[in-house]
Structure 1
């Protein structure tokens, strides 16, 4: 069973991000085997380049020999001009000394996102609405669907809607998808896209994919989860947002949530309650990814 390390309470996972936006704000995520001196070395390197640390979160999986994770946000005037030198210094001073893996991102550079959807609209419309309000630091560059049903709902948001039917030749549809995505997006979100993603697509897409699963994984995998839940008399209905891997519905979990239900609710009512949870869980997962708060480590995630 996948474990997700949540390092802070949900209140602190949804902070006022005013100190994380604007020009020359940089995020550095690292992961490596834990040992003394990592935090100090990172802070010294940033200071040597004229940077000022705005926030720093860290986590280790064990007192000795554990895996170490850190997310550092700092201000570095003239970052674009200094980036090459900074990255070279990270490779030499940190990478070689601590054998760490790292990602350096510019906060002002919003993630380019493609949303895939079928006929169910609640997750799609929620993301479009939050995007229009500026609640999620992303640019939705396209909505792709295997059905044309939702085109009229997407049009008012000014986002291109692209209909790619998935019929008997699924490989041809995926080839079209890859042509649309390649070089144009940083993230793909499956907002109730009711198609299984092939291994070939995962190998070639080159960006992370986030899926929303309409149950509290690993329970009720497959079709008709709410009917299965009703038949079992569940007392909680949940949703899971996770990264997509070649193992169906078993990728690293980013966020989960549940709502209490009772025997009095019909399958239709369970679906409506579940849809509300799905919207919240997916929006949080996408937000955290776009803010570089999620660090993947094998089949586990660390969410700062």
Structure 2
């Protein structure tokens, strides 16, 4: 198990137009609330009229729990600088619903990290359009829901899934090799809250069997991309990418195994950064604080 976080740890993420006094104002505000900054990261896109991004971790006085008061009081300073912001308790477990189809490498990576305490989340259920992973998932004590996506009934299947996600008050959704294209209706229900993983050959080798096509082409690098889902297929803001060097000795099957390994690692990193409030979305890009 990883070391537990202090119960009085908070996280603050801020995005706004760059202007004088932002850092000083936030620091002064937290000091007046009896809070101590334990980590601070910031980034400016352009010193002249660019965007400013900041992530702060702070501890408030352990003598009393006044996090909600701190959050409420921050509204005034946020309004003054026109912040796009959010403040979270670091110990709050976000609820993550996982979608999967037949391939289980990404699913199992997430479940193992959750079981080991490396993913500080709750997993209320796993949803799949195939029954293959039912026994594996339930072995972790997590409910498994099979929602088949039949021809002409996709809208009905998505509605069932949407209702389940809302019923469990999930914070975000992870597509762990879920081989269905989500409709705009589904995506709009959970904006900036759906994370997907795919191979990084795109726009090359589109469609089925990308690793077989990559083998025929003799690629020397394979990779994976984890990103937020938007209405533009596989073009949402990128959270993480990883690569692995390969050579002519790799068979098509070996390329696929290597690709799976890269996919599961990249997705797990992206999920971890998301639930630790390390990601700020700006347009179609992300700022990820390490």
TM bucket normalised to smaller:
over 0.9
Report the alpha carbon displacement of residue 89 of structure 1 after superposing the two structures with TM: 2.4
What's 1:158 paired with?
141
Offset from partner CA, 1:183-216 (integer Å, 9 cap, x none)? 5210100000000000011122466000011225
What's 2:111 paired with?
128
Instruction: Mark the runs of 5 or more structure 1 residues left unpaired by the alignment.
Output: 1-16
What's 2:272 paired with?
287
Aligned mates of 2:200, 2:63 — CA distance in 1: 43
RMSD: 1.9
What's 1:56 paired with?
40
For the pair 1:22 / 2:16, whether they are aligned, the reply is: no
For the pair 1:200 / 2:185, whether they are aligned, the reply is: yes
CA 1:219–1:90 in structure 2 vs 1: closer, same or farther (change >3 Å)?
Answer: farther
What's 1:226 paired with?
211
Report 1:123-272 matches (<5 A): 123-168=106-151, 169-184=153-168, 185-205=170-190, 208-272=193-257
For the pair 1:100 / 2:83, whether they are aligned, the reply is: yes
Offset from partner CA, 1:111-162 (integer Å, 9 cap, x none)? 1011000000111011101100001111111110000011111121111011
Report the alpha carbon displacement of residue 219 of structure 1 after superposing the two structures with TM: 4.1
Kindly indicate whether the alpha-carbon contact (under 8 Å) linking 2:60 and 2:67 is maintained by their aligned counterparts in 1.
no
Report 1:2-41 matches (<5 A): 18=3, 21-41=5-25
Aligned mates of 1:204, 1:281 — CA distance in 2: 25
Q: TM-score, structure 2 length as denominator?
A: 0.94
Higher relative contact order (CA 8 A, sep 6+): 1
Aligned residues: 287
Q: Say which SS state the counterpart of residue 87 (structure 1) adopts.
A: helix
What's 1:83 paired with?
67
Deviates more, 1:289-298 or 1:81-90: 81-90
Aligned pair partner of 1:67 in 25, 36, 51? 51
Report the alpha carbon displacement of residue 106 of structure 1 after superposing the two structures with TM: 0.5
Report the alpha carbon displacement of residue 225 of structure 1 after superposing the two structures with TM: 1.6
Q: Say which SS state the counterpart of residue 124 (structure 2) adopts.
A: strand
CA 1:39–1:157 in structure 2 vs 1: closer, same or farther (change >3 Å)?
Answer: same
Kindly indicate whether the alpha-carbon contact (under 8 Å) linking 1:227 and 1:267 is maintained by their aligned counterparts in 2.
yes
Query: Following superposition, which runs of at least 4 residues in structure 1 exceed 3 angstroms of deviation?
Result: 78-81, 216-222
Offset from partner CA, 1:68-91 (integer Å, 9 cap, x none)? 100000001369852343233222
Q: Say which SS state the counterpart of residue 181 (structure 1) adopts.
A: helix
Aligned mates of 1:126, 1:295 — CA distance in 2: 24
Aligned mates of 2:92, 2:216 — CA distance in 1: 47
Kindly indicate whether the alpha-carbon contact (under 8 Å) linking 1:186 and 1:207 is maintained by their aligned counterparts in 2.
no
Kindly indicate whether the alpha-carbon contact (under 8 Å) linking 2:172 and 2:190 is maintained by their aligned counterparts in 1.
no
Aligned mates of 1:70, 1:79 — CA distance in 2: 27
